[in-house]
């Protein structure tokens, strides 16, 4: 079964298409992807982050993480969930990068510290033939792997734009992938899936869209990206314009506390300057989203967190 881009976009626009809130996958998409048992090889590396992006991925609902791992991607390396560890795990990762050179997705979680030659983030050790150990920094890892990938995906705001590690102060010299690519002159397709953390649908949906394109470029053109490298599919909506409390905003009816329903503008909501489909897609299998019990803090934006601070406005 194949789907046109229009159908794909419709299916991905949960809420709009009248599907379950986060039900972004028609079984046909998974079927199409697994035809011929060709799964997307994925190497997932972590630098300066909190692992929230990985935890968010594990919370995927449609499809569940089990289906993602068994049917959609071939996850060859992931520091948090893989059974292997140490030099053996790293050796496998390098082998996979060679074996699937130009044909694997490099997913990067967390920013890249560049101060002190990257020594603020050592991600593993290699052993040479003489038994000498070499500490591998996040900087070195990205320098090695990104040019070999089919495309590199910045998972989470830290890798996409620097995020929290690159906030004011930034003693580690934390950088986003795009700044690191520019510094190192790495010329590789870079797609950003920001969010602190990103919604599971955004991560899986972006991978599915990209892999569908690889398998069948005529049927599945690459989704459009905005100027900050985000798929418009998920980051085209303004949070404020799609918020259920927009009428209250227009009528100047503002909630006075987080737990009261209503527009949170006077409590510091950053929805007006934030672009993501959270209001329509919602989180946690559609149970809620930030604005129900707090405010939007603009976590998907390149100026997060400094430009979005203070997050809350108190009396
Ligand atoms: Fe960053 Fe991932 Fe925020 Fe955390 O590690 S995007 S700190 S939620 O989870 O990179
Ligand atoms: Fe806009 Fe935030 Fe008010 Fe919603 S709660 S209408 S996003 S200011
Ligand atoms: Fe991030 Fe705002 Fe969406 Fe919450 S509502 S996940 S803070 S973009």
For every residue of the chain, DSSP letters joined together read: ----HHHHHHHHSTTTSSS-TT----HHHHHHHHGGG-PEEEEEEE-BS-SHHHHHHHT-TTTTHHHIIIIIEEEEE-TTT-S--HHHHHHHHHHHHHHTTTSSEEEEESBEE-GGGGTT-EEEEEE-TT--EEEEEHHHHHHHHGGGSSEEEEESHHHHH-TGGGSTT-TT-EE-HHHHHHHHT----EEEE--SSPPHHHHHHHHHHHHHHHH-TTTSPPPPB-TTS-BHHHH-SBTTTT-TTHHHHHTT-B-SSTTSSSB-GGGT--GGG-B-SHHHH-BTTTTB-HHHHS----TTSTTTTGGG-SS----
Tell me the chain's radius of gyration from C-alpha atoms. Answer: 20
Whether the predicted pLDDT of 289 surpasses 90:
yes
Q: What is the pLDDT of residue 51?
A: 97
Ligand 3 pocket test, pick from 274, 275, 280 with the greatest ligand atom count within 8 Å of Cβ, gives 274
User: Are residues 178 and 253 located together in one domain of the fold?
Assistant: no
Closest ligand (CA of 197): 1
- Ligand 1 center to residue 3 CA distance, Å? 33
- Is there a single domain that holds both residue 267 and residue 165? no
| pLDDT at residue 16 greater than cutoff 50 | no
pLDDT for res 38 = 75
**Cβ-contact 229, 108 below 8 angstroms:** no
pTM: 0.89
Same domain for 242 and 133, yes or no, is: no
| Number of structural domains the chain divides into | 2
Are residues 228 and 313 both part of a single domain? no
Query: C-alpha angle with apex 17: 13 to 22, nearest 5 degrees?
Result: 55
Shared-domain flag, residues 32 and 135: yes
In whole angstroms, what is the distance from residue 155 CA to residue 114 CA? 19
Task: Check whether residue 191 and residue 225 sit in a common domain.
Answer: yes
**Ligand lying nearest the CA atom of residue 155:** 1
pLDDT at 315: 63
**Are 278 and 133 within one domain?**
no
* Mean residue pLDDT across the chain: 88
Same domain, 261 and 118: no
User: Is the domain of 167 the same as that of 254?
Assistant: no
176 lines ligand 1 (CB under 6 A): no
Q: With a 6 A CB cut-off, is 276 part of the ligand 3 pocket?
A: yes
Q: Ligand 2 centre and the CA of 174: distance in Å?
A: 31
Higher pLDDT, 48 or 133: 48
Q: Are residues 38 and 187 in the same domain?
A: yes
| Tens digit of each residue's pLDDT (9 = 90 or more) over 55-92 | 999 999 988 888 888 888 899 999 999 999 888 999 99
Domain containing 145 equals 5-234
How confident is the model over 146-197, as pLDDT tens digits? 999 999 999 999 999 999 999 999 999 999 999 999 999 999 999 999 999 9
Point out the domain boundary residue: 183, 208, 234: 234
């Amino acid at each position: 079964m194949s789907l046109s881009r229009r159908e794909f976009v419709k299916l991905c626009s949960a809420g709009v298409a009248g599907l379950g809130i986060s039900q972004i996958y028609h079984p046909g998409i998974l079927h199409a992807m697994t035809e011929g048992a060709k799964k997307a090889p994925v190497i997932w590396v972590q630098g300066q982050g909190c692992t929230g992006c990985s935890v968010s991925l594990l919370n995927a609902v449609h499809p569940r993480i089990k289906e993602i791992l068994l049917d959609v991607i071939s996850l060859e390396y992931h520091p948090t969930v893989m059974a292997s560890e140490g030099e053996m795990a790293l050796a496998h990762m390098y082998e996979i990068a060679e074996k699937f050179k130009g044909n694997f997705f490099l997913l990067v979680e967390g920013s890249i510290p560049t101060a002190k030659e990257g020594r603020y983030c050592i991600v593993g050790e290699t052993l040479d033939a003489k038994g000498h150990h070499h500490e591998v920094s996040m900087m070195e890892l990205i320098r090695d792997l990104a040019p070999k990938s089919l495309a590199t995906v910045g998972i989470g705001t830290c890798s996409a734009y620097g995020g929290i590690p690159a906030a004011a102060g930034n003693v580690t010299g934390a950088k986003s992938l795009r700044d690191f690519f520019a510094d190192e002159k790495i010329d590789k397709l870079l797609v950003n899936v920001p969010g602190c953390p990103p919604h599971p649908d955004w991560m899986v949906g972006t991978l599915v869209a990209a892999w569908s394109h690889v398998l069948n470029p005529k049927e599945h053109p690459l989704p459009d990206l905005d100027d900050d490298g985000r798929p418009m599919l998920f980051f085209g909506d303004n949070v404020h314009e799609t918020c259920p409390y927009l009428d209250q905003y227009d009528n100047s009816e503002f909630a006075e506390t987080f737990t009261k329903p209503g527009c949170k503008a006077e409590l510091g909501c950053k929805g007006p300057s934030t672009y993501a489909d959270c209001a329509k897609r919602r989180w946690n299998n559609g149970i809620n989203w930030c604005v129900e019990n707090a405010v939007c803090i603009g976590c998907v934006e390149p100026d997060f967190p400094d430009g979005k601070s203070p997050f809350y406005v108190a009396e």
